[in-house]
């Protein structure tokens, strides 16, 4: 692990941002792509916890529900990237602070003026993203999938608050990935999703996605929290869409439009603003966003 907690944090978020590109590199149905990611991630996390001497705990019905939301989150995330672009996927996911505020507002039956301002920023960012066009085409379906990705991730965050009281973060990640892999395997078999086209290159790419961009990234992120505050970690995590868009430009040649950059500024700004006023530190708690 990086010797400095901030280096570990940024390394983890860089890996999270890189994960979106696999939606372009691996030409497989999103269910199969996420099945490979979660299976490799769960196996690696189990090995890491064994090496660290940490108890892996037991799966619960709560974690099973979380696994369903994780599977939904990643499937819609990669589907958005495949049908649109990396920018659409990462920026739609970055809308999750809005959905957390909505869920909290429903449970608390109120929303502060500052929360409303953050919600307006996210909404404006999504409006810019939806109005953007690639090659003269507006990818409404991809934007809708990306927003679903952000909404399902928000539900996962809220649910994880309860799990964090009784399970370690690594154990939660392990069982959520294992559960998601089991659910996706069942869906692939029941729905008859074709896996005949999988090549050795695809398996190698899925291994990198699951081991490096998921299990290693989670381990770095969680380990850095021992010396970095959740407040700092949340601000760094807000940069994930920026890293993702930068990688897409450098490695895929997907240059973000001015509208997409404006959407990124609003969405990332909303996340940082939420952190600055303590929303992410107190509401997200130990469930600081990790993917």
Per-residue confidence (pLDDT) for residue 271, from 0 to 100: 80
Going by C-alpha positions, the residue among 13, 20, 16 that lies closest to residue 236 is 13
Q: Are 67 and 176 in contact (CB under 8 A)?
A: yes
Q: Are 75 and 34 in contact (CB under 8 A)?
A: yes
Per-residue confidence (pLDDT) for residue 282, from 0 to 100: 45
Going by C-alpha positions, the residue among 76, 83, 93, 81 that lies closest to residue 20 is 81
Per-residue confidence (pLDDT) for residue 281, from 0 to 100: 42
In whole angstroms, what separates CA 154 from the centre of its chain? Answer: 10
Per-residue confidence (pLDDT) for residue 285, from 0 to 100: 43
The alpha helices in the chain, defined as continuous H runs, are 5-19, 22-25, 30-52, 61-83, 86-93, 96-108, 113-131, 140-163, 169-191, 200-210, 217-224, 230-237, 240-247, 258-276, 279
Cα dihedral 126, 131, 136, 140 in deg (nearest 10): 60
User: What are the structure tokens assigned to 221, written together?
Assistant: 């992120």
Per-residue confidence (pLDDT) for residue 287, from 0 to 100: 47
All structural domains of the chain with their residue ranges: 5-287
User: What are the structure tokens assigned to 75, written together?
Assistant: 């499937």
Going by C-alpha positions, the residue among 68, 52, 71 that lies closest to residue 171 is 52
Residue position matching structure tokens 């069942």: 186
Between CA 28 and CA 237, with CA 181 as vertex, the angle to 5 degrees is: 85
Q: Are 281 and 230 in contact (CB under 8 A)?
A: yes
Q: What pTM was computed for the model? A: 0.87
> What is the pLDDT tens value at each position of the chain, 291 positions in all?
445 778 888 899 999 999 999 999 998 999 999 999 999 999 999 999 999 898 888 888 888 899 999 999 999 999 999 998 999 999 998 888 788 777 766 555 566 777 778 888 988 988 888 887 665 556 788 999 999 999 998 888 888 777 767 778 888 899 999 999 999 999 998 887 777 778 999 999 999 999 999 999 988 888 887 777 666 777 788 889 999 999 999 999 998 888 889 999 999 888 887 766 554 444 444 445 556
Per-residue confidence (pLDDT) for residue 180, from 0 to 100: 96
CB-based burial, 253-271: b 16+ in 10 Å, e otherwise: ebebeebbbbbbebbbebb
Per-residue confidence (pLDDT) for residue 138, from 0 to 100: 67
What are the Cα distances from residue 101, in Å, to 89, 196, 228, 229? 21, 42, 25, 22
d(CA 8, CA 275): 19
Per-residue confidence (pLDDT) for residue 97, from 0 to 100: 79
Per-residue confidence (pLDDT) for residue 106, from 0 to 100: 58
């Amino acid at each position: 692990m990086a010797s400095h907690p901030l280096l570990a944090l940024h390394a983890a978020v860089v890996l999270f941002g890189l994960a979106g590109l696999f939606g372009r590199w691996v030409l497989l149905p999103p269910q199969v792509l996420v099945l490979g990611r979660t299976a490799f991630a769960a196996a690696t996390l189990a090995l890491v916890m064994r090496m660290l001497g940490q108890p892996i705990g037991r799966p619960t019905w709560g974690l099973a529900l979380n696994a369903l939301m994780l599977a939904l989150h990643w499937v819609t995330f990669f589907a958005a990237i495949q049908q649109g672009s990396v920018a659409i996927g990462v920026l739609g996911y970055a809308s999750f602070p809005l959905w957390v505020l909505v869920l909290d507002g429903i449970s608390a039956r109120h929303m502060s003026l500052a929360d409303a301002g953050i919600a307006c920023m996210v909404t404006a960012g999504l409006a810019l993203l939806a109005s953007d066009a690639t090659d003269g085409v507006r990818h409404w379906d991809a934007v809708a999938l990306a927003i679903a990705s952000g909404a399902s991730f928000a539900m996962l965050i809220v649910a994880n608050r309860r799990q964090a009281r009784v399970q370690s973060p690594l154990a939660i990640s392990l069982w959520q990935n294992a559960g998601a892999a089991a659910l996706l395997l069942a869906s692939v078999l029941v729905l008859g999703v074709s896996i005949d086209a999988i090549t050795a290159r695809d398996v190698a790419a899925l291994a990198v996605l699951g081991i490096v961009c998921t299990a290693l990234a989670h381990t770095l992120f969680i380990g850095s929290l021992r010396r970095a505050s959740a407040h700092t970690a949340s601000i760094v995590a807000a940069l994930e869409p920026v890293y993702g868009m930068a990688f897409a430009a450098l490695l895929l040649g997907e240059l973000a439009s001015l509208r997409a950059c404006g959407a990124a500024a609003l969405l990332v700004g909303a996340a940082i603003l939420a952190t600055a006023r303590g929303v992410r530190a107190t509401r997200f708690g130990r469930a600081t966003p990790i993917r």
